[in-house]
């Protein structure tokens, strides 16, 4: 299930097909997609929704994570997201 970039989807759907899921940085989710042989990268907009921002092969995933981690707050601001998720401490 290669999620379409720019699509807002349920967090459950974003995570459901991946055997590997990790939150590298607060608000940035990475989920493996075995069917397509790639990783889906998304920004968590709230507790239940994710904005798909990119896809990556296993050789590029680290670089893409670093790139997107710097943009999390800007993306959340664009979508008028309250950046204070209750399950995190700063």
pLDDT of residue 34: 83
Contact by Cβ (8 Å): 48, 83: no
pLDDT of residue 9: 94
pLDDT of residue 89: 45
pLDDT along the chain (90 residues), means of 10: 81 82 85 88 94 94 94 93 57
pTM of the entire structure? 0.83
CA 81 to chain centre: 15
């Amino acid at each position: 299930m290669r999620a379409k970039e720019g699509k807002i989807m349920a967090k459950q759907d974003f995570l459901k097909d991946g055997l590997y899921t990790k939150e590298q940085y607060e608000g940035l989710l990475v989920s493996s997609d075995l069917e397509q042989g790639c990783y889906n990268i998304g920004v968590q907009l709230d507790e239940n929704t994710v904005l798909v921002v990119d896809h990556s092969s296993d050789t590029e995933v680290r670089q893409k994570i670093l790139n997107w981690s710097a943009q999390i707050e800007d993306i959340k601001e664009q979508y008028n997201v309250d950046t204070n998720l209750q399950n995190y401490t700063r």
